[in-house]
Amino acid sequence: MDPKAINDGGPAFPCDPFVASKPGNETVAKRLAEGMTLRDYFAAKAMQALIMMGATVTKHTPEGELTIPGRVGVPPLAYEYADAMLAAREA
């Protein structure tokens, strides 16, 4: 496995294996499985909370602290939360 690969958790809303296994449903199953990943779903949930809290992100630089507005800094932070949630599931 690629050490840089990100565990996306697989599909957030996977297709029922019984439905997918019926003849003729291969296309439907593929379409349903190509949606949002669990990582995206967790990040979206985290982002909602961060936005509601009015979150900003502060980065420490050699010149001092840099405050990044929420609309720019929150999405990467939301994915950090999502990655932590996925890691907790594996623990």
The answer, as to whether pTM is greater than 0.85, is no
Which residue segment(s) compose the domain that 42 sits in?
A: 37-90
83: pLDDT confidence band, cut at 50, 70 and 90?
A: very high
Q: Which of 66, 12, 3, 17 is nearest to 36 (CA)?
A: 12
Domain assignment of residue 24, yes or no: no
Count of structural domains within the chain? 1
Domain assignment of residue 17, yes or no: no
Domain assignment of residue 23, yes or no: no
Domain assignment of residue 15, yes or no: no
Domain assignment of residue 42, yes or no: yes
Q: What is the pLDDT of residue 1?
A: 46
**Per-residue pLDDT tens for 6-56?**
888 888 877 666 666 666 666 666 666 667 889 999 999 999 988 888 877
Structure tokens at 30: 């593929």
